[in-house]
Structure 1
Amino acid sequence: MALAQPRDLEQYLALGKRRHNELCRQKRIFNARNRIIGGDAEAWDVQVHDQKIKEATEKARHETFAAEMRQNDKITCILEGRERRDKRSLCKAISDFQQHFQRPETRREFDLSDPLALRKDLPARQSDNDIRNTVSGMQRFMGEDLNFRERKKFQEEQNREWSLQQQREWEKARAHQRCAEDLYLKTRLQFDERAKHLQNLESATRKAVCTAVKEFNKSQATESLERKIREKKQEQEDNLAEISNLLRGDLLSENPHQAASSFGPHRVVPDRWKGMTQEQLEQIRLVQKQQVQEKLRLQEEERQRDMDWYRRRVQTARAALLRERWQQRQQRDLRRALDCSNLGLAEEQRAQKKYMEEVCTNQPTEDYFTQFNTRSR
């Protein structure tokens, strides 16, 4: 019998450990419920334990809050009772203060509600200067004062003095008016005499002015007549000179050289130009004929060019048609070759399939499939 060495024991323990791990792994993997649903009892137990701890903690916290709330309620009740007592004490102190220091007779408006007001009241009118006799009180009217007799006598004396003073002022005013009328009459006579003298002077001056104006107008008329005669004579001379210049000048004589410009022989003066000469007209007609011939030549060249392009287009179209037909023939040939090749491949595939059916006769059984998925690796 061989002795077990420490190394053998270690190998045996390692082998047993691997076998145990393999069995545990197979149990987890081959258990369809755990593999598909993914249930983990240990994790669930841990979660339940944590939930219970959490609930206990919440319960303890709520109990702490409840105790604190009860304590606060007690304190609130005590404070409310103290506040009510303080309020009653304050109301009592206010009432005592009003009874001792705020009596009705010490108020400012007590006279409005005083029951003995009629006994304490004064008469409605004591004198004419009583400050209580206001307008709204209607205790004193015009002519109902206490000094009516003395006032009436004084007014009569005053009226008499006023009448005498008015008479004196009236007499004085009449005397002033008479003096003013005399002065006005004298002044008016002086003004009339002076106006008459000025009128005479004005008449003499007007006559002198009229005479001078008449003489001046006569001299002006004479000068105007002489000036018109001179102007008419000068105008006739100017007209004769202008007619002579026009008849002898280049404007009516149709001189073609007067239109020559100093800037060159090809330039003319527009306001003096009388038209082109016969040589210039002949040259223009010659140039026009040349232009017509050149245009006909260009048209003929363009027609020839269009004919060439037309022939080229026809040839190109014919070549394209021939090439297209050749391509169609090539495609038909390729299609026939491809069809032949496909037929050959189909025959080969059918032959191979028939051969495989004849050679491969064994079918897989259940034992063949059970040899798979026996380990966790």
Structure 2
Amino acid sequence: MQRFQGEDANWKQMRREQIRMSERALKGQMDENIRRQEREKHKDMLEKQELLHQNQVQLHQAALEEERRKAARIALHSFNQAQAAERAESLKEQHRQEETENLAEMWHTMTSDMLTECADAGERDVGGGKPPQILPDRWKGIRPEQLRSFQRDREQQCQQKQKQCDAAKIQDAAWNLEQLTLTRKAEEEERRKAEKMRELRIQMDQYNMKLAREQRAHQEYLNKKLYTNKPTKDYFYQFNTSSR
């Protein structure tokens, strides 16, 4: 390639300028790569910090939840202990009250008329002519006079019941006898009606036989005595022979 004087200097200058421009472009690319890498590192660092923060928050919440559950368990345990203590105290008080009542009842039984043999201790007068009121916790049983009165009343009731049974039996027997009498009368009436019907049929049969005999006798009389001369053919020919 032919070059003129002065062209070599220009070409070298241009060549150096191209090299500097290439170096600047390459340096710019390298700087951009470095900045991009820095941004990515910064982004990764922020993501790791956010993840760490979330983990810390979750751990804190889990610790708070565990503390809450622990406090709830402690409160429930304390409540159960208080309830158990209250029930135990209530049972003790109930046992003490039952023992006190049992002792009072035993003392009342020992000092009252309950253990006496007097029958009046089991009764209380109510006045007004009414029978005495029975006290179940002091009643000593039926007195002899009361037992005799009960026995008399029972015998009277049995006798009254026996009389009612006897009256009912007599009434049933009378009713059965009346029914039997009516039945026999009805059967006798049926027999009389049947006998009358039989006699009436016999009389009708005899009357019919008599009528039949009389009719046969009358027919024989007509045939044998009244109509002895039978007309001949000439007798019938004489009729309707004239013009009149």
For normalisation by structure 2, the TM-score amounts to: 0.43
Query: TM-score, normalized by length of structure 1?
Result: 0.31
